[in-house]
Amino acid sequence: MNFRLGELFCGPGGLALGATSAKVKANGRHYSISHAWATDYDKDTCATYRHNICPDNPKSVICCDIRKLKFEVLKKISDIDTLAFGFPCNDFSVVGEQKGMNGIYGPLYSFGVEALRFFQPKFFLAENVGGLRNANDGKVFDKILFDLQKVGYVVTPHLYKFELYGVPQARHRIIIIGIRQDLKIRFRVPTPIDSKLVTCREAIENPPILEGAPNNELTKQSPQVIERLQYIKPGENAFTAVLPDKLRLNVGNAKISQIYRRLNPDKPAYTITGSGGGGTHVYHWQEDRALTNRERARLQAFPDDFVFEGSKESIRKQIGMAVPPLGAKKVFEAVLKCFAGINYLGLESNIKNNAHGFHFENSRLTLPDEHDEKAVG
């Protein structure tokens, strides 16, 4: 059984790579997921996705603002059996203004809801940052779950700690799995792998990155940054290290832990983000430099033959915003096992679903400029 995958807000292809890598066999039947179509608004991101996920079918990736896109355009490409959408997290992330539904990006999840209503796939995967649970005092998360259930899905939200699933990075993300109610299939959260955590040293050095590997250009550091890094030990940042007065940061009361923070080589990396200015590039534990994009991609569990398109800055953002494909693979494999009837050891969700019985006077959102944009189709 093959499930055709459609993606909204597809990013560079972390979810897609995880999905298409997931394989399950039971009772002589094979269960897999294949790419059908994808859409994102960023040109470099779409170019990366085409290059790595569907090089033989580039027209299946539509580069467009989701507010201008008609689902009929996607349906003409292919119908789907599963939908994935890592809807933009900018307004829910702890790094930022945390505007929630009051921001530009917060309401965009509703396009995932409308896509579920339109396509009625057998199951879906939605992904977002852990801060989503706390946006608008938890009301945003309750509403999202309510809307997903309302269009006919049994949903299982869970906060995954990807370092427990083999990813060499402490990356914590909410993933919501929804299975269509009429299928009567229950999803169980997969248990973490039974092995030690993968350290960032192991990820970057074993095996060594080959000379000439794509996206492995060094980032230039100013003499002052190099001098500052010489005082920062592995695991320390610009505020926990003992620095001379001339190298201290004058940023008032702000003490963000990621600023000029060196990796601890004996632990998984801290969270890789899409930012890069102001000392947030992620810094090597020994060498006085920021990581290359290839090294960052390894910490996101992308293989070295996954080539990112665009400028160095664009690639850094793509890598930081992506879902680690290894983590995604573990979740998709669990879903396939559910459809295959394989009884595996699972966990209870660590997120309580408070949306049952929740009532909203108006469960549909009006999106910013939604009616001012010309639809594509």
Over residues 244-253, the pLDDT tens digits come to: 999 998 776 6
- In a domain, residue 124? The reply is yes
Please give the Cα distance from 155 to 129 (Å, whole number).
17
Residues contacting residue 217 through CB under 8 Å, at least 6 positions apart: 292, 293, 312
89 vs 73: which has the higher pLDDT: 73
24-28, 84-88, 184-188: least confident range: 84-88
pLDDT for residue 251? 72
Comparing CA positions, the residue from 298, 346, 341 lying closest to residue 160 is: 346
pLDDT value at 168 more than 70? yes
Please give the Cα distance from 17 to 30 (Å, whole number).
18
**Mean pLDDT of the region 275-298:** 91
- In a domain, residue 263? The reply is no
One-letter amino acid for residue 345 of the chain: L
357 vs 53: which has the higher pLDDT: 53
pTM: 0.89
pLDDT value at 372 more than 80? no
**Mean pLDDT of the region 222-228:** 95
Residue with tokens 């020994």: 286
- In a domain, residue 136? The reply is yes
Annotated catalytic, 89? yes
Distances (CA, A) of 374 to 66, 71, 113, 300: 11, 14, 21, 36
CB 63 within 8 A of CB 40: yes
pLDDT for residue 195? 85
- In a domain, residue 109? The reply is yes
Angle at 17 between CA 98 and CA 55, to 5 degrees: 115
pLDDT value at 230 more than 90? yes
- The one catalytic residue in 46, 89, 200, 338 is 89
Please give the Cα distance from 303 to 21 (Å, whole number).
12
pLDDT value at 356 more than 90? no
pLDDT value at 362 more than 70? no
**Mean pLDDT of the region 272-281:** 82
pLDDT value at 358 more than 70? no
pLDDT for residue 345? 87
Total domains in the fold of the chain? 1
Q: Is 2 helix (H, G, I), strand (E, B) or coil?
A: strand
- In a domain, residue 227? The reply is no
252-269 pLDDT tens trace? 666 668 899 999 999 999
C-alpha 248: how far from its chain's center?
33
- In a domain, residue 66? The reply is yes
CB 135 within 8 A of CB 106: yes
- If one counts every other C-beta atom within 10 angstroms of the C-beta of residue 263, the result is 25
Comparing CA positions, the residue from 358, 336, 327 lying closest to residue 127 is: 327
Please give the Cα distance from 195 to 130 (Å, whole number).
24
Per-residue confidence band for 376, with pLDDT thresholds at 50, 70 and 90: very low
Angle at 89 between CA 86 and CA 90, to 5 degrees: 145
Please give the Cα distance from 273 to 263 (Å, whole number).
14
pLDDT value at 343 more than 50? yes
94-117 pLDDT tens trace? 444 444 444 444 468 889 999 999
CATH number at residue 173: 3.40.50.150
**Mean pLDDT of the region 336-350:** 94
In percent, the amount of the chain with pLDDT more than 90 equals: 75
**Mean pLDDT of the region 73-86:** 96
CB 8 within 8 A of CB 87: yes
**Mean pLDDT of the region 65-85:** 95
| Total residue length of the chain | 377
Helix crossing, 312-321 with 43-53: angle to 10°?
A: 70
**Mean pLDDT of the region 133-161:** 88
Range(s) of the domain holding residue 63: 2-196+323-347
pLDDT value at 217 more than 60? yes
Mean pLDDT (the chain) is 88
Per-residue confidence band for 194, with pLDDT thresholds at 50, 70 and 90: confident
pLDDT for residue 52? 98
**Mean pLDDT of the region 216-239:** 94
**Mean pLDDT of the region 302-327:** 96
pLDDT value at 196 more than 80? yes
Exposure letters 5-43 (e unless 16+ CB within 10 A, then b):
bbbbbbbbbbbbbbbbbbebeeeeeebbbebbbbbbbbe
- In a domain, residue 54? The reply is yes
CB 4 within 8 A of CB 79: yes
pLDDT for residue 247? 94
**Mean pLDDT of the region 316-321:** 95
pLDDT for residue 357? 52
Please give the Cα distance from 313 to 293 (Å, whole number).
9
- In a domain, residue 138? The reply is yes
Per-residue confidence band for 317, with pLDDT thresholds at 50, 70 and 90: very high
Please give the Cα distance from 161 to 332 (Å, whole number).
15
In percent, the amount of the chain with pLDDT more than 70 equals: 86
